Amino acid sequence: MKDLPDIPALMARIGACARAAATELAVVPPEQKAEALIAAADTLIARQDAIIAANAKDMKFARDKGLSDAMMDRLRLDPARIAGIAEGLRAVAAQPDPVGEVLAEWDQPSGLHIRRVRTPLGVIGVIYESRPNVTADAGALCLKAGNAVILRGGSESFHSSQAIHACLQAGLQAAGLPEEAIQLVPTRDRAAVHEMLTMTGVIDVIVPRGGKGLVGLVQREARVPVFAHLEGIVHIYVDAAADPEKAMRVVLNAKTRRPGICGAAECLLIHRKIADTLGADLIRALIDAGVEMRVDEALSGIEGTVRASDEDWGCEYLDMVMAARVVGDLGLAIGHIEQHGSQHTDCIITEDDAAAQSFFDQLDSAILMRNASTQFADGGEFGMGAEIGIATGKLHARGPVGAAQLTSFKYLVDGDGAIRD
């Protein structure tokens, strides 16, 4: 699938263009960036037939490759989905511009006035898989934060991403911004990914969005800093002091609303005191809702359950399958989550404030919840607007990564001839 001969030279050119664009973008007024995003949204709607035609090529390629129905569904574009993508661009345009925001300001006894202001990060690399909408979402968020972005989409969504990318470029052009602000790597050659991962001094940070394979590759090979996006191995612990009605509502929603998103619950931990009562009710309700329940020995007497194997602990199903086990107490629940979780999102169901406090204090997941569905693990639901993903690392960005997390800051210091003693 080598489309272009010299990948290092191609990527070096793309990188140089991105750095030049980043310098320009850093001082662009908010309105101009918003104008580009709105023009891109308009273009997306105007060109929807062409986008759907490009997507049809990808769908054929995917069918020939024998992709799963779930993958095919992620790839598919139709007028409603294109309208959704355009809506997303308009929403990002309408958000407050993070660049230049004064994060803090104060005076020092020396007479200095110090401001800490948000700045763009610079050049962001986004490496993703089959969802073509990421082209628009990631491009828009990076632009909003004043960054240049190099997008590298999956080979399955190659034509769809190119068609969407052309709309973003039309938007940039309409607003008088450099087209190199949002570049899409124009080749399916995987050598381009390896190149991106080692472009230190050119790319400031890489955001990988995809499955275990991609994230693992990035973590092994990247010399450029990475915002880790591990899988969401989401646990719900139902405490002895859980309210049964809340537990039922939250657990069912967390597992079944959309089992394929990273905030979907994957493992249910049940306090032994309520295992035979609320615990059994929960498992029966999940089975009734169509969930395959893979349980430990203590729960295996419940009709319709399947015995879990060792691989079920710490497994991200992204499907109507859930692991469940009984734990002796809160400490053992925390221990299980530390051992098998992915520090993405974990939840406790309890009316006991002390238990909730321990859960919040002792666990170190990006998002910890009490009595709320883990499906809320989402930038929009957090009130941050669009997101590029949920970061599970602890450096710089954590949790939902929106435009504000794609920034850095600098200190601006005003004196009146102040000198240091």
Say which DSSP state 374 is in.
G
One character per residue 177-216, x = contact with its own copies (rule: CB under 8 A): -----------------------x---xx-----------
| Interaction of residue 392 with its own copies, rule CB under 8 A | no
Nearest CB to its own copies, comparing residues 77 and 356:
356
299, 369, 386, 401: which one contacts its own copies (CB under 8 A)? 369
Nearest CB to its own copies, comparing residues 65 and 258:
258
| Interaction of residue 91 with its own copies, rule CB under 8 A | no
One character per residue 254-293, x = contact with its own copies (rule: CB under 8 A): x--x------------------------------------
Q: Which amino acid is at 147?
A: N
176, 211, 290, 415: which one contacts its own copies (CB under 8 A)? 415
Q: Do the bridges between strand 390-391 and strand 399-400 make them parallel or antiparallel, or are there none, so unpaired?
A: antiparallel
Give Cα 28 distance to the centre of its chain.
Answer: 26
Question: 290 and 259 in contact (C-beta within 8 Å)?
Answer: no
The per-residue b/e assignment along 83-108, b for 16 or more CB within 10 angstroms, e otherwise, is eebbebbeebbebebbbeeeeeeeee
Measured in degrees and rounded to the nearest 5, phi and psi for residue 127 equal -115, 120
Give Cα 391 distance to the centre of its chain.
Answer: 6
Give me the residue label for tokens 């799963």: 68
Give me the residue label for tokens 């989409």: 153
Give Cα 272 distance to the centre of its chain.
Answer: 35
| Interaction of residue 253 with its own copies, rule CB under 8 A | yes
Three-class secondary structure of residue 324 per DSSP: strand
Nearest CB to its own copies, comparing residues 256 and 305:
256
One character per residue 48-87, x = contact with its own copies (rule: CB under 8 A): ----------------------------------------
| Interaction of residue 418 with its own copies, rule CB under 8 A | yes
Question: 285 and 254 in contact (C-beta within 8 Å)?
Answer: no
**Residues found near its own copies in the complex (CB under 8 A):** 26-27, 106, 108, 110, 112, 114, 119, 121-122, 200, 204-205, 219, 225, 243, 245-246, 249-250, 252-254, 257, 356, 360-362, 364-373, 375-376, 381-383, 394-396, 398-399, 408-420
